[in-house]
């Protein structure tokens, strides 16, 4: 049984922040990690879950992995299908779907060589959490759009917000996104290209 729902906002300059709620959407803890980031997250979640790695769900606001080659398909929203495209582009199919539905504008994933530092840090965090069965990629900007007309509430605590208000807010939204998905109200998009999926708090199709 999942007891904790965590959101992580990945960035370089100020370090990475996290926000954790419990199964009742109550605030548990939050904070910033600035050194040995992947290893510190791994240690934090092992201690929080008392080494019960299946009792915590984690949402990370960063791509799961880089692309290996340029994308050769486009998504047709009306037909709900993919079409081949001779004009190869960067980005993963999960990002394409979100863009096609007008939910948010992705920062397109690139090859490992061309990826910015924050994406590479995200890749390493995912790898460090490989023993946790419930690790998801989330997109807070998409969650804001999907939830903007709902009265979805969860316990909000301003601890550690001064270091980066928007970053910590995104981390909290990442946590509630995973909560909504785990509880059957969201969806998972992409994945046919083998490059990971993005979890959303509501269904789009």
What is the pLDDT, as a whole number, of residue 197? 98
Which domains can be identified in the chain, with CATH numbers?
A: 4-66+110-200 (3.30.420)
Residue 140: per-residue pLDDT: 98
Position 81 scores a pLDDT of 86
Residues in the chain: 205
DSSP letter, residue 69: S
Q: Provide the whole-model pTM.
A: 0.95
Take residue 157 and report the two structure tokens written for it: 């605590």
Task: State the pLDDT at residue 121.
Answer: 98
Long-range CB contacts (within 8 A, 24+) of 85-90: 90/114
User: How confident is the model at residue 74, as a pLDDT?
Assistant: 86
Residue listed under structure tokens 């993919």: 82
d(CA 118, CA 159): 24
pLDDT per residue, tens digit, the chain (205 aa), is 899 999 999 999 999 999 999 999 999 999 999 999 999 999 999 999 999 999 999 999 999 999 999 898 888 888 888 888 767 789 999 999 999 999 999 999 999 999 999 999 999 999 999 999 999 999 999 999 999 999 999 999 999 999 999 999 999 999 999 999 999 999 999 999 999 999 999 998 6
Q: Give start and end residues of each alpha helix (H) in 3-136.
A: 37-48, 93-100, 117-128
């Amino acid at each position: 049984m999942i007891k904790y729902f965590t959101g992580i906002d990945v960035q370089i300059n100020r370090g990475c922040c996290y926000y954790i709620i419990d199964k009742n959407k109550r605030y548990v803890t939050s904070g910033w990690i600035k050194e040995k980031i992947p290893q510190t997250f791994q240690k934090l979640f092992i201690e929080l879950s008392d080494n019960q790695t299946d009792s915590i769900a984690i949402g990370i606001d960063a791509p799961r992995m880089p692309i290996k080659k340029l994308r050769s398909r486009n998504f047709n929203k009306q037909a709900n299908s993919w079409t081949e495209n001779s004009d190869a582009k960067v980005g993963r199919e999960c990002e394409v779907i979100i863009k096609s539905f007008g939910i948010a504008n992705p920062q397109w994933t690139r090859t490992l060589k061309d990826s910015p530092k924050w994406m590479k840090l995200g890749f390493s965090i995912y790898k460090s959490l490989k023993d946790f069965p419930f690790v998801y990629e989330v997109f807070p900007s998409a969650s804001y759009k999907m939830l903007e007309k709902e009265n979805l509430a969860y316990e909000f605590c301003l601890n550690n917000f001064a270091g980066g208000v928007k970053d910590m807010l995104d981390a909290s939204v990442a946590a509630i996104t995973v909560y909504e998905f785990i509880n059957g109200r969201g969806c998972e998009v992409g994945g046919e290209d083998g490059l990971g999926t993005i979890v959303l708090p509501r269904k789009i199709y």
